Structure 1
Amino acid sequence: MKQTFRLFFKERTTWVAVSAAIIFQLIFGAVWMTGYEGVAERMKQVRLAVVVQEGQLASLLEKLSDRSPIEVVRYKDIETALYDLDLRKVQMIVNVQQESTPSGSSLPPEIQLTYYMNESNPAMVKSIMTAVASEFTDAIKKVRLVSMIAQQKNGSNSNIFADPGVQSSVVTLHPAGDMHRQMIPLMLVLASFVGSMLVAMNLEQSTQALIGKTSRWHRFFVRGIINLIVAIVVSAVGATMVAWLGGPIVGGFWMLMGFLSLLMVAFLFMTQLFVLIFGLAGMLINIVLLSMQLVTSGAMLPRVLLSEGYANVSQWLPATYGVDGMLNIMFGGTGTTQDSWMLTIMGISCFILGAAAVVMKRDVHQTATVTVNNV
């Protein structure tokens, strides 16, 4: 037993396995702890669009917005606000309407609050905005009640307890249903990138075994063809699983499969790039990229709550556009044109950089062979 133990630790791969487990802990801990640090302090970056007409009610809402824990942005019309809600530029809309007061009544006009929520977002957005809507409604009610009490002290005979006061309702855009459905983009991103890492690692080992048997360009282009085949097959499996398990696909099965293929291509050529440059040590960079993308993609935490540094990094990672596109395809939204273009550009860029790495890197085996022959 002792001899077997010693033999195991004489092998380099045993040390690599132990080191990889430790590195995973260090990288994920560092990225996730720093990525989610200060989220509560950045709640002011969450935006509530308020649609209200000019008048006394508008000045009242301005006073409330100063005390709000989130950013309150005023819009002149509901159409513009709904457009920005669809683009996820705002996280919720409240349309404030003041009803007419019956003649002879001393009660202030009734207020109707209509909240619009876009569920084609991370699940956290819905929970945050539901709480905000409740607090906003309560604040309006309190201010209205203070005004009515003041009227009664001035001699009014109004019955404040009979007043309906403030009414609220919620309109849902692109309903997602249960929370497990909103977690589908996270599942697809995680499975796709981890799968791409494994493909890159194993194809690199196959490539090393073929050195001296085929040219480096043949190996590089065959790897590219295999990546494209893997992207199509894996995307078909992923889209089929989502459809089979009852996941919502507003945009249709083929659109989801096609978009997933683009995302997989970007992932495959990105993970391959660092392996081409650094060999199997490039997997360490891929581990960092995995953690970074899970934090910054917007699948779990809305990107508006990220620090400026992580928000800037997210613009250079495929998962960001993958999550946006999948939310639009599965639940509804503004389409996938921009996201598809960004993924295409990233995939092509990584492929070109990979070709440059092949140019710069020599075949050690072939160089050694040429040297022996010359001798």
Structure 2
Amino acid sequence: MKEALILVLTHRFTRFALVMGIFYQFLFITVWMIGFGSVPAQMSKLKVAIINQDTSMSAQVQNDLKKHLPFQVQTAHSLPRAIEQLQQRKIVMIIEIPNGFFKDVRNLKTQAHLDYYINESNPMLASMTAQQSASQITEDFNQELTKRALQGILQGLHVPGNRAQTIVQQSMNRVVPDVHILYPVSNMGYIMSPMMFGMAGYVSAMILQLNLNNAIRDLGDKLAKWRRFQTRMIISVAASFVYAYIASTYLAAWGTPIRQGFLQLWVFQTTAEFAYMFLTQIPALLFGMYGLLFNIGMLIAQAIYSGASIPRMILPRLVNILGYVQPMPYAVEGVQNIVLGGPSVTRDGVALLVYAIVCLLLCFLISELKDRRQE
């Protein structure tokens, strides 16, 4: 038994697996800690727009509202323009102070409505933070206005105790939130579907390329050099269509409301698969089975860079820049728009197509150089 253990443990595949097991512990923890570790301190980078339609409202009250916001606050002058920014995920929430708001605040018989606009097709953390902030802002506003109402009324009137208590009760809950959901999402699984699409597509491409490389290598001289490259390309392209169709169909079977249509999701995901196929093929061509190390490393990194779970605007600057040279951020954003709701995916689709073409040319160059070296 001892000899068998020594033989197994000293085998190159076993040593490789043990080393990689340790390596990925460090890689996972490092990458995820960099991403999630920046969240608490960087949440203030999220942007909120305030639109004040009430010209009678004092600047002091508007400043008090800004103090309650743990975000970067910008003043907007047009609701349609602000909604466009919300659709493009440049801001996470719009707070609109409607005309007559301050008048309603001072009228004890009415309730003043503060309007919130939130885009739920944002990354989950941004959407949840915006909704929690809407509730907290309303509560803080109520307390502040109640205090102001009491100071103004009780100082000017000599009110009996019972009457004063009644006034206090009437002064409570002066602001009622009206939350306008831009793209309502009823299931958290739908929110996470863009990341699942990206991860599943990348892993399937990675596994296929590794096995294609092993199969072509074992066939050896049975395939001419051009047949090797052509066969790999045909299988990769065909598999991209099939993988994307199966994934889109299965997602629809779960009842996911695909807002921009099944066909657009299938075509877009196929384009993303092209990029994944040709990207993961490069390490497989260069390093064989050891290319799995590089592909898994890129997979882990892109899980953070993609913006599906953490808004990219709050990630460290270097990490955010690295996201622009990887395909998954474009794929995740496109699927977010198609499935959850958002603007056109043309820009993301073009970026993925260009990425796929560049990687395809690199695959061709690497294959040619390897064939010449073997000759």
TM-score scaled to structure 1, two decimals? Answer: 0.90
CA contact (8 A) 1:96 1:111 kept: no
Moved more, 203-212 or 337-346: 203-212
Match of 1:20 in 2: 20
How far 1:107 sits from its partner (Å)? 6.1
| CA distance 1:341–1:100, change in 2 (3 Å) | closer
How far 1:89 sits from its partner (Å)? 0.8
Match of 1:373 in 2: none
SS at the partner of 2:90? coil
**Structure 1 position 328 matched with structure 2 position 328:** no
| CA distance 1:112–1:3, change in 2 (3 Å) | same
| CA distance 1:106–1:298, change in 2 (3 Å) | closer
Match of 1:296 in 2: 305
SS at the partner of 2:309? coil
Q: Distance in 2 between matches of 1:277 and 1:57?
A: 66
**Structure 1 position 221 matched with structure 2 position 222:** no
CA contact (8 A) 1:101 1:108 kept: no
**Structure 1 position 255 matched with structure 2 position 264:** yes
What one-letter code is carried by the residue in structure 2 that aligns with 1:40? P
CA contact (8 A) 1:101 1:110 kept: no
What one-letter code is carried by the residue in structure 1 that aligns with 2:143? K
Runs (5+) with no aligned partner, structure 1: 368-375
How many residue pairs were aligned?
A: 365
Match of 2:31 in 1: 31
SS at the partner of 1:171? strand
| CA distance 1:108–1:68, change in 2 (3 Å) | farther
Q: How is 1:1-375 mapped onto 2 (pairs within 5 angstroms)?
A: 1-53=1-53, 54-66=55-67, 68-99=69-100, 111-156=112-157, 159-163=167-171, 165-362=174-371, 366-367=374-375
How far 1:23 sits from its partner (Å)? 2.5
What one-letter code is carried by the residue in structure 2 that aligns with 1:9? L
What one-letter code is carried by the residue in structure 2 that aligns with 1:149? L
Q: Distance in 1 between matches of 2:107 and 2:235?
A: 77
CA contact (8 A) 1:51 1:93 kept: yes
Q: Distance in 1 between matches of 2:185 and 2:316?
A: 27
Question: What percent of counterpart residues are identical?
Answer: 29
What one-letter code is carried by the residue in structure 1 that aligns with 2:241? I
CA contact (8 A) 2:134 2:177 kept: no
| CA distance 1:67–1:129, change in 2 (3 Å) | closer
| CA distance 1:55–1:264, change in 2 (3 Å) | same
Q: Distance in 1 between matches of 2:203 and 2:107?
A: 66
What one-letter code is carried by the residue in structure 2 that aligns with 1:356? L
Moved more, 146-155 or 254-263: 146-155
How far 1:152 sits from its partner (Å)? 2.3
Runs (5+) with no aligned partner, structure 2: none
CA contact (8 A) 2:121 2:127 kept: no
Q: Which has the higher helix share?
A: 2
Q: Distance in 2 between matches of 1:165 and 1:7?
A: 77
Moved more, 51-60 or 245-254: 51-60
What one-letter code is carried by the residue in structure 2 that aligns with 1:39? V
What one-letter code is carried by the residue in structure 1 that aligns with 2:83? L
Q: Distance in 2 between matches of 1:96 and 1:129?
A: 17
CA contact (8 A) 2:108 2:170 kept: no
What one-letter code is carried by the residue in structure 1 that aligns with 2:340? F
